[in-house]
Structure 1
Amino acid sequence: MPDVVELLADLGGVARRGVLLAAVDRGVLEAAVSAGRVGRVGRGLYALPGVDESVEVAARLGGVVSHTSAALRHGWGVATVPTRPHVTVSRGRRLGSRAGAATVHRAELAPCEIEDGVTSPARTLLDCARSLPFSEALAVADSALRESGCHQLLQQVADRAQGPGSRRVRAVAEQATALAANPFESTLRAVCMDVPGLAVRPQVTVTDGAFAARPDLVDERLRIVCEADSFEWHGGRSALASDARRYNRLVVAGWIVLRFSYEDVMFHPDEVRAVLLRAVALAEVLNQRGPGGRDAARASRQPRRWFSTSAGAPASARSLSG
């Protein structure tokens, strides 16, 4: 059974009760709350402890919770849970030594952009999309659509964006989707977008006869599947067996299946991109072969003979030594 704190971190720092109880027992969750390891930030909404403290820090500084800290307060997952709360204060406000308690941003906010000491959903979307790296901004936007269904609001934010960063705001709004399962998957999708020739879509149903699967990310033209594999979800024996069967069926159906860990996607995206580049090159070669390539390999059921019947060494090894 996964640790509830690690599970919350994988989910972006905040999650609904039903999502958590799908992976941990009710008693485990309640024990974590009682011990202060997990906080309640709303009805049926749980978060890492620092999320609940952000409003108090903002109040001491005379500002409001903003950026990814505000996203967490709205119940949206983030790719990187902030170690210090993000707080926006007036440009003229002097903080002195108190500034070290938060990551401080300077802006003049209109009253309609503040709700209960937190930037409004619209302002939070704008701040995150404008200032965060694209992958982190996409994770917030995906989470907002998934948790709040605010498609129209996000589009309004993009349409009204002006000045520095407005192009990024519109790009985030264009690519955001409620189909992304969590910030981990959103980040992997952002890495995929940076790979020429690769065009993945989340949660596409793949069929092969009676077999059906719904991988995390799918490029249907290249027949590439990308899975965001978290140990917290796939660490059990039964889950491992189910995943192995599914991956094997996808491979024999002619799909290139790539599995990426949370650590690699979040901390080593360049290595993930390098693998994706090679996968695209391989898929293009297989596609160029047409019916005589990928499809023919699937249709063949004859075992390949790797060893000579007259000698113990592989035939390939004998030809190299001869």
Structure 2
Amino acid sequence: MATPRRPGRMIATCGASIAQQPRTVITPRRSQQGAVATGGGRNRGRSQQEAIATGGDRKQVARFAARDAGGRQPAPVLDELLRRQAGLVAVRQAQAHGVSPRTLQRRAAEAGWERLHPAVYLAAGHRVTDEVRVRAAWLWAGEEATVCGPAAAYWHGMLPTAPDVVDVTLAKSAGVRSRPGVRVRRRALDHADRVGIHDIWVSAVPLTTLETAVALPDGSAFLDRALQRHVRLPTLRRAHSRNLGMRGSAAAGRLLTAAADGAGSAAERLLVRLLRDAAVEGWVLAHPFGPFVVDVAFPAARVAIEVDGWAWHVDVERFATDRRKGNALVAAGWTLLRFTWHDLTGAADRVLAEIRAALTPTIAVSGA
């Protein structure tokens, strides 16, 4: 897969932006003696850290790393990597900064580090948190990988926890297979669907929203919350168009259609169909009540049902009116039931059970 365009909006860390370099970038402080000129015998007294700080080439850095390791002093770059990555370090990262795999593996063995994935270590004293699991999966999969689905939603702050299995996307030609805790998905992502946050690549918010909505049992509710807080419908449609034919795209398309038609009127039609299919009788659609109109009412039983569409459709005025109507119904002795579009599509049996429980015996209910 071609190297993706660097995203324009990135989060800077430790004086360097991931937009400049997707891998971890370390800029240690200079020594108290200041910078030492590069080249010739003037470098003999320099440490690995000084070599990096003063722009030494990779061979020089490697020589100093080997010398530091030979003196049984841990390379300072490892400590910086561990600090920035919640205790994690990959062999390839350390090697890129002049620390040999053997040096890293020796330190891991001596200090009792945990190997979470091949060539990915968690330092002693650090817990395996959700952040650690997601970051470790990406470190193992490599810098061309992209964390996606619910794990990306967690990384964006759209979910409170990460899933047990972290999904990562790689090019079709990548020779990496799924392993415990990591599921590999092979496809090519558009540049617009990939963004760097906190030193790892994740799918951008629109694609993350669609894929998470398809993956979660309450996907429509998740999509509704995302439309309120994180993303707009046209942006979701563009992301869906870029990924047509991908796994889950058909289900995502159905959710987008529902979201576009997710006003209260659509939810009312769902409830009417549900009541008719269940042979529930005695209800009236759009029942007048003082200055208000009840969505569905059972006048003989004094049961009122209010149906809410997708929350992102609701404006402040309508929200306030619905609350005043509900208070007036309760004050007049009515039983008020409220259901959402997500209730009607995802928990129809529970909705019917609650309606039947609220009705009095005078209402004929088939199967009660």
TM-score class, shorter-chain normalisation, is: 0.3 to 0.5
User: Which of these two proteins has the greater Rg computed from alpha carbons?
Assistant: 2
Q: TM-score by structure 1 length?
A: 0.43
Tell me: higher relative CO, structure 1 or 2? Use CA pairs within 8 A at least 6 residues apart. Answer: 1
More helix by percentage: 1
Q: TM-score by structure 2 length?
A: 0.38
